[in-house]
Amino acid sequence: MVEYGGRNINGTVKDLFEGVPSYTSIDIVLGPGVDRMADAVTYIPEQVPDTVVCCEVLEHSPKWPDIVKAAGRILDPEKGVLLLTCATIGRTPHSGLDGGPLRGFEHYKNVDPMEMSNVLEQAGFQEFEMEVLDNKGDLQVLAWKKERDDVR
């Protein structure tokens, strides 16, 4: 399992996966919760993960489509799952460094759900579910590399 953007700024999902044998948290900046400093776009894990988690990262990167496509490349093609959350329309800009006000040198752009849908398809995800929580400006995505015949 790989977590993109694992630096604990205002909370972490790492605790939810306690006991997962091969959990690697990467971030472009070292800090609490980070196992390896790496760019998600170019990171190649030692083992093929069956899950990639990416929470509240994409709105802070102009390369967010490349991050989603990187997850599609490294995930197990038979059982790979992407779990991500990001800011969408209506979310107030905030800093990726500390969650406070956005600084002039920082990138911030809410992710459009239609654009996310296109990028997921380009990344090779066969099936996905998206939910927009309008009252919070949250976009939640669960995407699978293979169709989920066995779940229906």
pLDDT number for residue 11 = 78
Buried b (16+ CB within 10 A) or exposed e, 82-106: bbbbbbbeebeebebeeeeeeeeee
| Residue spans per domain, the chain | 1-55+82-90
Instruction: State the pairing for strand pair 138-144/2-4.
Output: unpaired
Helix 113-122 / helix 64-74 crossing angle, nearest 10 deg: 40
Task: For 18-37, write each residue's pLDDT tens digit.
Answer: 888 889 999 999 999 899 99
Helices and strands in the chain: count of H runs, count of E runs: 2, 7
pLDDT number for residue 14 = 86
Enumerate residue ranges in the chain where pLDDT < 70: 149-152
Closest CA to 56 of 131, 14, 6, 17: 6
Q: Which two tokens stand for residue 45?
A: 């894990």
pLDDT number for residue 112 = 96
pLDDT number for residue 32 = 92
pTM as predicted? 0.92
pLDDT number for residue 152 = 42
Q: Cα dist. 142→2, 32, 49, 82, 125 in Å?
A: 15, 26, 15, 6, 10
